[in-house]
Structure 1
Amino acid sequence: MELRLLCGREGSGKSRRILQEIGQVAAAGRPAYFVVPQQFTFQAERDLMEILGLKGLMGIEVLSFERLAHKVFGVTGGQDEVFLDETGRLMVLRTILTRRKDELKAFRAAAGQSGFAGRCGEMVREMHQYGMTPEVLRARASDCGEALLAAKLEDCALILEDFEGFLAGRYIDPEGRLAALCRQIPDCEFLKDAYVFIDGLDSFTPLIESVVEALMRVCARVTATLAVDHERPCRDEGLFAVDRYYESRLREAAMRVGCKVVTVEVRPEAGALRARKAPELIHLEKELYAFPRRGYAGADTGAVRLFSGTGPQAEAEDAAREILRLARDEGMRYREMAVVCCDLEAYAPLLKTALERVGVPCFIDRKRPARDDAAAETVLQALRAADGRYRTLELMRLAKGGYAGLTGEQAEVLENYALFAGLQGSAWLKPLHYGEERFDLSVLEVWRLKLVEPLEALHQGLRAARNVEQQCRALFQYLEQIGLRQALEEEAADAGQDAAFAAAHAQVWALILDVLDQAVTLMGPERQSPRELLKMLESAMDGADIGVIPTAQDQVLVGSLTRSRSPELKALFLLGLNDEGGQDRLREEGLLHRGEADLLAAQGTVVARTSALRFGQQRFALYQVTARPLRHLSCSYAMSDSAGRPRRPAFLIAGLQEALPGLKTQSDIHPLSPAQLLSAPGEALYQLLPKLGEEARGAGMGAEYRAAEEYLQSQEAWRGRLMRAQALAGRRAFPQMLSGKALGVMGRAPYRMSVTRLEQFAQCPFKHLVRFGLGARPREEARVDAPGTGLLLHEGIEQLSRAALMGGWDFDRLETDELEARSDALADTILPRYFAGKLGESGRGRYLSDRFKKTLRRSAGLLARQMRESGFELQHVELDFGGESQLPALKVPLPGGGEVWLFGRIDRIDVLHGPQGDSLRVIDYKSGQAAFSLRDVYFGLRIQLPTYLNAALNGLPGAHKRPAGMFYFALRDPQLSLEAEDSLERQTLAAGRLQGLALNDPELLRAADHALEGMGESAIYPVRLKKDGDASGSALVTAEQFESVLRRALRMAGTWAKGILEGDCRAYPVRSGAYTACMHCDYGAICGFDPRDARCRTRTLPDGTQAEALAAMEREWKEGK
């Protein structure tokens, strides 16, 4: 029996030496077992075949300790317990936490949180590795001297006791399996007189030490590598403290066994090392952690590169360009280069994008949680959505996952309908009936059933289930019903060249089944609520990982400090060297903080790794990484994080600069060189995009970027992408004029347009293009808020007016109670139809429903009072003009010749019959802003009222008609003051006055409001009669002024119509004072209008008063324009 220790510094050749010794043993016909960490087994097999020149591994077996245990138990038997992996452990712990939550002291609040079961799993793992028992924890809790720590230890003891009680005699976890391995090794025949080689272990826990000691008792030789420098003096002796501690533990174990210890100092030959490795890197390996540190005497430090990026993305992009340069200029293979990230989760997506852009293949060496996979998340989302409440948000998350029976497009359309119709709760279980004028309900009904029927079956199955086994069976039946397995198989088959995606996808279905199987095995007879089942499966999915092996030979490996293993690297890139430690971020693993573990260790009880051990391991991991490359080392750090917060470089950066005084720091603050810019077409286009935009805004473009543009123009494969980028950057500088067909103007002259469309064009031609040309609309939602109820008020008052007109009853003759009853009855027919019961399902909904009824009653009462006090009669409600409607289209001449026919719908027309003809007033109901502005009419922003009045005057029968007024009727609750001198009734009447223009004719005004027979203020119009009989008020205009306003509206309508027909589609929003058309615009993300861009101009209107606008219109009319 012999313990052979191969000791040496990093890069001394220990791993190569152990591989050579394995080859010698195998060549002699003796069994050789190579034990490495689980994540390195694949790489170890490749290294053996490459370095030993083997085509296979006959006589050599690469194992992890876990796989060794499996192999031993397969021969010796003796393990009757069912193996419990990490997934099963987390399910058990989640169940324990649910049951014991109220008994916990320190962790009661955290027990139900997502991820807490994972922290408990870390605690259980370390407690078992260090041989802790609940009894020891309780003893330490009583004498630790810290109240909070004592409470934590009590909780840990309770959790650990329950977990071990669950395992007892039935199950065995990974640490228990290693403990059982120690007991079974003496009975294992294939290990007797075998040769075992151990390499790459970064931690010898007491449990691993016990396994190695057991191997020493039966094997002919156990060989292990240790990073220890026995040479004296050693100026970086502290760097090897961890492995020196492991060496002493192994020697003690060998002494107990009576095993011979042979120490082999592995040192490379100086000449051979200098021939293989750059002198700067040789110096750096010796001096980076030495004290005192010696500076490099050579002038050339080209083998080491230091980069300071403005952020993590800049680091990733720089590494990608440098990798491509080394491959092109220095002939390195991609597999000879690696990237190590101090924070792999943050840097991996950035690196993947940057490397793909320059055409460099890469493999991200990490396992991702199963919960990150859409199919696994579908399982959890189905449980959330099947709770019986059928919340639209949960249903849509399920549908958009892509595995619930609907495509992404179908899910989007169904969501649009659900928002429009206000589907919520039990409404999802009923056939769709509302909105047939907007949606194809027959198709939507098929999709609804496809989504909801399996989910309802799952809901009923979970309700009927008496235990976890029946719940899992119901869930499995749901997955079969939606065809999840077939969908995953089809996606894996369609992956094409993306072998990594196909490999990961192939694991998902097996992983889901494994989770369900373990749930049944572990918790089958127990009763759990669906919510508890969901939490248990969430914890299981958090603990289950999806991992793949490299699918190509020549690719760059991207890994973390703890998962990177590439002994023969020519170049290495170390990213993220910031003050978080310049290492994998230290998460608080387990339930005890590092300081608490240190306190217990100082008292003689080691329950987990101490801070000193963690720091030593991570500092050594950094040392290993920096010592690994042979020709090139690139280190980088970020000056700020992704949110722009400043960050400091890690301590290692100062060490690099001190060890290599001539090392210069590069940065992306300086412009890229032409070589960097033109490194790859994708990179060139990426860097060129912002410069194209800057040039379009008037800034210059450097010669190197001009060269990049010319290069892309010369490449046929990239010419189209460049042209799209150029168009994107310069489209506002050279606005295109589209055809009328593209703008949605179909057919031949005369062209028909709505007044609403003209007003949209007046606000912004591009907004008009998107709304009417492309037909893009914001999602319509059945909103239970003030704007949503405003639309209902509009319909309610119109239906009430139509009922009066068609039913032959007059507003002014109804009693208040009867009018309110009719109003409420109408509201009861409108609300369910719009909101499909949604209003009644919440307190806010009921409040808004009552408020809607109240406002509708108030508006109806105000309308009745106005009609009662007026000689005007309600003649038309929702009167259409244009098309097949009762009134003909309003023909508007176009500047330069031709005409356009306008159509629209007038909310209400009142008529006053007189001996000289009919006087007409047009009313438009407004639930929002009801102010009338002559400036808006003059500039063509709001021409609806005068255009509608023009249509009524020109289209209604009768020879003599004149305008009496045009007004907005506000549909809203007024803001009343209890402290005002006026009564609440007078305030209500004043707030409900019609807003607009009225003809300054005393007879008409008195006819409009009988209260003006004498003198005083009108409760219907914002006017007042004076003693002399004249009227005053801002709403009054003369007949000539009224005519000028109507003419101006028609002129602006013609101007806008011509602009539409000419194809104007500029992003040219109007600006008036502080207002711009971009405010509350639904299409800002499409046009990308940027006020800072010199090409982005607004149509700024001059300042002026209402009187000035009226005077300008009157002057224009008199001049015959």
Structure 2
Amino acid sequence: MKHTVLQQHLRLAGRKIAKAARFVGQNAHEQGQQRIQHHRQQRLPKFLQLCRHLGGDRADGDAVDIVESAQLRDLPLAVYAHENKQHHKRSDRRAKQLQNIHVRSSFSKSMPENVSFYCGICYYIGKKGGGHMLQFILGRAGSGKTAEVFSRVAAALKDGKSPVLLVPEQFSFETERAAALRFGMKDAARVQILSFTRLAERVLRQVGGVAEQVMSDVTRTLLLSRALEIHTAPENAPDAARQPNDTAYLQAVGAFFAECRQCGVSPRLLTLAAKDMEKGKLRDKLSDLAALFDIYDGLLAVGGIDAAGRLQMAADRLPSVDIFDGAPIFADGFKGFTAPELAILSCLMQSSALTVTLCTDPDGNAPLFAPVDDVMRGLRALAEEAGVTVLPPVELAENRRSLTPALQALERGAFAPTPTVFDGDAKEVTVTPCPDIFTECTVCARTVRHLMRAEGLRARDIAVVVRDLPAYDGILDAAMRRAGVPFYMDTAADIYTLPLPTLMTAALHIAAAGFSTEILLRMLKTGILSFDETETALLENYTYTWRIDGARWEKPFTADPNGLSEKRRFDRAGLEKLEALRVRLISPLADLRAALRDRTDGKTFAGALYAYLIAVDAAAGVRRLFSALSADGAPAAADMTARIWDEMMGLLDEFAVIFGAEHLPCRRYEALFHLAVGLLRVPALPQSPDAVQIGSADHVRLSSPAAVLILGANEGVFPAAPAESPLLGDRDRETLAKSGVRLSGDRLQKVKEERLFAYLTLAAPRRFLFASYLTSGAPSAIIDTIDTILPHHAVGSIASPDGSDIESPAEGFDRLAAVWREETPLRATLAAALSDRADYAAFADGLRRVTEKAPAALSPARATALFGSDLRLSASQADAFYHCRFKYFCQYGLHLKTRRIADVDASLFGTLTHYLLETLLPRYAASGAAPDLAALRGTVHNTLFAYIEREMGGLADKPARFAYLLSLIERTCVSLLWFSAAELAQSRFSPVAYELQIGTEKLPAPTLPLANGGSITLVGKIDRVDVYRRGDTEFLRVIDYKTGTKEFRLSDIPYGLNMQLLLYLFALCSHAVPAGALYLPAKDITLKNGSAPPDESRLKMLRMNGPVLADADVIDAMDAGGRGVFIAAALKDGAVKTGKNMLLRADFAAVRDLCNRLLLQMAGTLQKGDIAAVPTGEEKKLPCSYCDFRAACGREEDGDAVYIVNKRDDAVLTALREEETDGKKMD
């Protein structure tokens, strides 16, 4: 019994002495040894006896008396001295100073002359007895806690030790940087700067366990999905409703399980808690979660270990190893600790001197710091349980960070129950209300530029803090770039849409679900496959034209790449190239499908996907992307591209490990891979050491920046309003706590943490603080706090009226654009300031066109280069020009073409109709009689399908709809041929040309000279030309086949529309008389499969319309007897019946002159460069509704337009005749 008591006393004395001795300098130790020898027989024999016994195995009964008589418990336990290798008087002086600050015992106050002697004794004994101690450094934000820690680290370095600095994971880089600046590179290398993760790795490296695979968040979610799949299998949970691919549910469950691990709650503990509850929903839910947790733990044990489990493993093995050799340990920057982290701290404080800094108010129990005070109480409890002495805390009261009284007052009063109001000027604190997030980000970037320019701050001296960082992603960074501000945004990029993940997920989708044109094109456009842009465009156009999709990708391409709309020769060479591209694209995917066709394990899955990447040489594609991005001046994007390769390879490795023995179908692997890639995040890397730091308040590390800008200080945003856990609400957690299971995720605790985040942000700056909020919501407690404590703070503005706040050219251009229409001094000033920039002219020109709605235009020189001085125009081009000049520019200037699906559209209908009529009509016209309908049908069918086989590759690869539409064309052409043959049989007009080309050697094109020396040449093709001879006079008519109900209107001609037939007629009538220009509508007038010819009423459905010469003989020559059956003209009593479109010879001449003037006007307009988007058409029937280029012209719905006035034809004729009489040109 006596021996046990002795051991307890010795242990207590040894620990206390050792803890004090750890802080004593080497010089004091040497001096102490000398004094021990000097006073061996005179002054302190009992201390010498004690020294011989401490740390050893021997102890006798006298030691108890020695301990008690020496009053070792009164020794100065908090003596703190830096290493001192100089004279021992300096040690005396330093020890006395520290004694006055830290030592409170009566014994220490009575020993001023022998402090260094006792320090030497303590050090000597401490070398044997160890240092089990815990001490807190307490202080509010900016009180110098980290500086105090660095001072103690410096003392340990001078003492020849390698102190340990334990910091949060995200603070490691900043701490290493600060250590290098403070201690120099040589000494900084001796400081062991660790996070808990790195500490655990060091422990496990010594005692075993480092080889365990550490699971990422993505991998844990995959395992959780697999666990949920097992848990919800029919044999385990027949009524389960949750799906293993429900990402939101998986993330919620994963967060809950992570919370359980942090709080030391195991599946068994959850199960026991559930059993103790009454029957109900909570019990069922907990039982279900516990079962899922247990399955998940089992999978985790096979696949590796998560971060929390790794920390716990390190804590379990830490007592068996002394990894720091008694070096002092400092934990700095933590707001709290998880259960595994507390276990590690408990082990550390039992083997070393542990110092922990905590941000709290040493003077009182401020509610703001309640979460931190809870942490301190927890650590004290751990120390008492382990028998570790807790030294009196070091209390730091002075604000050493804030350099202005206003900022000091704000730090002291922030979120205090009764804050002290600072009545002085607080111009260094600015609050800015903003109408929207875009304006807020613009103001932020401007403010940063101002601080750098006017206040001389470096970018790294400025921090921007938000609470919801994803909400600012893509907005704040864009504003910073526009302002030319270097910055680092602490975000993790979503990689799902990046090229390599897109390629891999698309390949897996095809392997699981089959070929899809959309997915294949997505793969081609990643830029990773070895297909250039032209090859990709060829494939895309072909698949669009022929509607290639699904299984059709597995069959050879056989259709004409030109499609069906153009009457062109079959492109055999193009088809061969496309087929080679198809094989090159499909073959590796076919191999991947074959490899994953059956249920495979994780290694086979990962190997097959990797083999696909090798087959398509994806690594080379990534290198190409990296080089292109680097050359384009996008180093961050290039770096991300390179890092993504490593991330995706790591993901394949994880699939091989965690699903190594799982045989799953390809669809399941595809779902898991999509889930993993969707969750994978790659943090951005700083691109410059001098950059503005942008981060979230709960994650950012603020190292006393000179200026802090707070964005989004709105109610419920910053501080955030914590949402209730989707799995367990606050009441559920209270019930759990009563069962002995305490979790940390209740909302009250989160509210306290949010206020602490806000306080730390307000207390961070040294010189300037800026806070902004959106006026669409209420300001938060941050703004209320500033308003209360600093009533005289500055109020920021969105934009200064005089522009004096503009900080960058980009903002200057934006502001100039906003006031461009205003004749103000600001506009003049900005225009003058920016006019010297190279990009100003283009900017100003663009503004003029937008604000003044200036029409699109080219310079005359550029217009001449584009269109030429000698214009070759077709009638359809003239029609397009007068419908809209901008459309003409796109279609005939830029030669833009819209893609067409290979379908029987109007263009193909016209092509086939013209071919059949050109081929068959001469045969029937020569017969002089209407053909037999049955025979005509057979002839048309055979001729049409022979053409389809010869020119379009037949019907084998065409959809069923194509064959159906061909049958409609067939019936229509039968009607047209029968009508035309019947009409010619009774007519004195005879066909002399079919598909007549104007502009050949046989028929030179008519030419009009231009004033500038150029010319207009009319070219084109006429469907049919008929002639009637009366004596020496030839009468010509032209006929055009038109789908639909095309109707000629003379009133269109003055607007430049529908001149086609007349232009072609006039081109032929240099020595002939114009007799008519007629449209023949393409309609089916025959009875289906009927043999009887159409009656007169049905014939009139195809009656041709257009201008006809008002000559009774000519009309009779066209339609025998002038009955009006075949043309829209008739005779009454042998005379011409009055009707529209009946023209005299002089009228035809006047119309000819008008058409020529319109062509000359068109040429002049083009050569001036006028390509304005001013459409011509009837009101509410403008051509914009069906224009292929309406997305490019920029015309608004109420923009300029020319509206046709539907005049009567006789009114137009009257105007033309008056023009001919008085010489006044018609408008």
Scaled by the length of structure 2, the TM-score of the pair is 0.78
What displacement does 1:1069 show?
4.2
Aligned counterparts of 1:147 and 1:923: Cα–Cα separation in 2 = 87
What displacement does 1:624 show?
0.9
* Secondary structure, aligned partner of 1:172: coil
What displacement does 1:1061 show?
4.0
For residue 181 of structure 1, what is the aligned residue in structure 2? 314
What displacement does 1:967 show?
1.5
Among 269, 288, 296, the alignment partner of 2:422 is 296
Any gaps of 5 or more consecutive residues in structure 2?
Answer: 1-131, 563-567, 1087-1093
For residue 980 of structure 1, what is the aligned residue in structure 2? none
Aligned counterparts of 1:915 and 1:146: Cα–Cα separation in 2 = 113
What displacement does 1:569 show?
0.7
Q: Confirm whether residue 469 of structure 1 aligns to residue 603 of structure 2.
A: yes
Among 1027, 1046, 1054, the alignment partner of 2:1160 is 1054
* Secondary structure, aligned partner of 2:463: strand
For residue 644 of structure 2, what is the aligned residue in structure 1? 508
For residue 1112 of structure 1, what is the aligned residue in structure 2? 1215
Among 388, 406, 410, the alignment partner of 1:280 is 406
For residue 913 of structure 2, what is the aligned residue in structure 1? 797
Greater shift after overlay, 960-969 or 751-760?
Answer: 960-969
Residue pair 1:782, 1:835 contacting (<8 A) in 2 also = no
Aligned counterparts of 1:468 and 1:791: Cα–Cα separation in 2 = 54
Aligned counterparts of 2:751 and 2:833: Cα–Cα separation in 1 = 50
Aligned counterparts of 2:406 and 2:785: Cα–Cα separation in 1 = 14
Counterparts of residues 1072-1091 of structure 1 (less than 5 Å): 1072-1076=1178-1182, 1078-1084=1184-1190, 1086-1089=1192-1195
Among 216, 220, 223, the alignment partner of 2:352 is 220
Among 919, 929, 937, the alignment partner of 1:819 is 937
CA 1:566–1:856 in structure 2 vs 1: closer, same or farther (change >3 Å)? same
CA 1:648–1:966 in structure 2 vs 1: closer, same or farther (change >3 Å)? farther
* Secondary structure, aligned partner of 1:313: helix
For residue 613 of structure 2, what is the aligned residue in structure 1? 479
For residue 244 of structure 1, what is the aligned residue in structure 2? 373
Greater shift after overlay, 285-294 or 916-925?
Answer: 916-925
What displacement does 1:364 show?
1.5
- The one-letter code sitting in structure 2 at the alignment partner of 1:393 is E
What displacement does 1:655 show?
3.0
Any gaps of 5 or more consecutive residues in structure 1?
Answer: 640-645, 975-983
- The one-letter code sitting in structure 2 at the alignment partner of 1:290 is A
For residue 1091 of structure 2, what is the aligned residue in structure 1? none
- The one-letter code sitting in structure 2 at the alignment partner of 1:243 is V
Aligned counterparts of 1:374 and 1:973: Cα–Cα separation in 2 = 57
For residue 51 of structure 2, what is the aligned residue in structure 1? none
Counterparts of residues 714-793 of structure 1 (less than 5 Å): 714=836, 719-730=837-848, 732=854, 735-739=857-861, 742=864, 744-746=866-868, 749=870, 751-775=871-895, 777-782=896-901, 789-793=905-909
* Secondary structure, aligned partner of 2:323: helix
Residue pair 1:122, 1:589 contacting (<8 A) in 2 also = no
For residue 376 of structure 1, what is the aligned residue in structure 2? 501
* Secondary structure, aligned partner of 1:371: coil
* Secondary structure, aligned partner of 1:12: coil
For residue 963 of structure 1, what is the aligned residue in structure 2? 1075
Aligned counterparts of 1:140 and 1:966: Cα–Cα separation in 2 = 93
Q: Confirm whether residue 67 of structure 1 aligns to residue 193 of structure 2.
A: no
Aligned counterparts of 1:633 and 1:666: Cα–Cα separation in 2 = 12
Residue pair 1:423, 1:838 contacting (<8 A) in 2 also = no
Q: Confirm whether residue 15 of structure 1 aligns to residue 131 of structure 2.
A: no
Aligned counterparts of 1:473 and 1:255: Cα–Cα separation in 2 = 54
- The one-letter code sitting in structure 2 at the alignment partner of 1:943 is M
Counterparts of residues 962-1041 of structure 1 (less than 5 Å): 962-967=1074-1079, 969=1081, 994=1104, 996-999=1106-1109, 1018=1125, 1031=1137, 1034=1140, 1041=1147
Q: Confirm whether residue 167 of structure 1 aligns to residue 300 of structure 2.
A: yes
CA 1:1000–1:806 in structure 2 vs 1: closer, same or farther (change >3 Å)? closer
For residue 254 of structure 1, what is the aligned residue in structure 2? 383
- The one-letter code sitting in structure 2 at the alignment partner of 1:969 is P
Q: Confirm whether residue 347 of structure 1 aligns to residue 472 of structure 2.
A: yes
CA displacement, residues 666-692 of structure 1 (integer Å, 9 cap, x when unaligned): 332x44544322x2334323433444x
What displacement does 1:621 show?
1.0
- The one-letter code sitting in structure 1 at the alignment partner of 2:785 is G
Aligned counterparts of 1:852 and 1:529: Cα–Cα separation in 2 = 43
CA displacement, residues 552-610 of structure 1 (integer Å, 9 cap, x when unaligned): 32211111112211222110111122334225686787755677657755776445611
Identity of aligned residues (%): 24
CA 1:895–1:82 in structure 2 vs 1: closer, same or farther (change >3 Å)? closer
RMSD: 4.1
For residue 662 of structure 1, what is the aligned residue in structure 2? 792
Aligned counterparts of 1:972 and 1:279: Cα–Cα separation in 2 = 93
* Secondary structure, aligned partner of 2:745: coil
Greater shift after overlay, 94-103 or 317-326?
Answer: 94-103
Residue pair 2:332, 2:356 contacting (<8 A) in 1 also = yes
- The one-letter code sitting in structure 1 at the alignment partner of 2:610 is F
What displacement does 1:329 show?
1.5
Aligned counterparts of 1:588 and 1:927: Cα–Cα separation in 2 = 66
Residue pair 2:857, 2:1169 contacting (<8 A) in 1 also = no
- The one-letter code sitting in structure 1 at the alignment partner of 2:443 is D
* Secondary structure, aligned partner of 2:983: coil
- The one-letter code sitting in structure 2 at the alignment partner of 1:762 is Y
Greater shift after overlay, 511-520 or 1049-1058?
Answer: 1049-1058
For residue 308 of structure 1, what is the aligned residue in structure 2? 433
Q: How many residues align?
A: 1065
What displacement does 1:935 show?
2.8
Aligned counterparts of 2:276 and 2:642: Cα–Cα separation in 1 = 52
CA displacement, residues 942-966 of structure 1 (integer Å, 9 cap, x when unaligned): 3223223333545xxxx75542342
Residue pair 1:881, 1:888 contacting (<8 A) in 2 also = no
For residue 934 of structure 1, what is the aligned residue in structure 2? 1050
Aligned counterparts of 1:558 and 1:344: Cα–Cα separation in 2 = 9
Q: Confirm whether residue 680 of structure 1 aligns to residue 800 of structure 2.
A: no
Residue pair 1:228, 1:243 contacting (<8 A) in 2 also = yes
Counterparts of residues 37-186 of structure 1 (less than 5 Å): 37-78=168-209, 81-97=212-228, 108=241, 111-113=244-246, 117-134=250-267, 153=286, 156-168=289-301, 171-186=304-319
- The one-letter code sitting in structure 2 at the alignment partner of 1:255 is E
CA displacement, residues 104-160 of structure 1 (integer Å, 9 cap, x when unaligned): 799846643456544443333223333444555567778989977677556544543
- The one-letter code sitting in structure 1 at the alignment partner of 2:828 is R
Greater relative contact order (Cα < 8 A, sep 6+): 1
What displacement does 1:69 show?
1.5
- The one-letter code sitting in structure 2 at the alignment partner of 1:321 is R
Aligned counterparts of 1:808 and 1:492: Cα–Cα separation in 2 = 68
- The one-letter code sitting in structure 1 at the alignment partner of 2:508 is L
Aligned counterparts of 1:22 and 1:607: Cα–Cα separation in 2 = 35
For residue 979 of structure 1, what is the aligned residue in structure 2? none
CA 1:837–1:683 in structure 2 vs 1: closer, same or farther (change >3 Å)? farther
Aligned counterparts of 1:813 and 1:708: Cα–Cα separation in 2 = 80
What displacement does 1:1100 show?
5.8
CA 1:862–1:43 in structure 2 vs 1: closer, same or farther (change >3 Å)? same
- The one-letter code sitting in structure 1 at the alignment partner of 2:789 is A
What displacement does 1:1113 show?
3.4
CA 1:196–1:921 in structure 2 vs 1: closer, same or farther (change >3 Å)? farther
Aligned counterparts of 1:986 and 1:147: Cα–Cα separation in 2 = 87
Counterparts of residues 493-642 of structure 1 (less than 5 Å): 495=630, 500-583=636-719, 605-606=741-742, 609-639=745-775
CA 1:604–1:986 in structure 2 vs 1: closer, same or farther (change >3 Å)? farther
Aligned counterparts of 1:99 and 1:992: Cα–Cα separation in 2 = 73
Residue pair 1:422, 1:781 contacting (<8 A) in 2 also = no
CA displacement, residues 792-819 of structure 1 (integer Å, 9 cap, x when unaligned): 2222222222331366688941425862
Greater shift after overlay, 434-443 or 539-548?
Answer: 434-443
Counterparts of residues 446-465 of structure 1 (less than 5 Å): 448=582, 450-463=584-597
- The one-letter code sitting in structure 1 at the alignment partner of 2:900 is E
CA 1:866–1:1066 in structure 2 vs 1: closer, same or farther (change >3 Å)? same
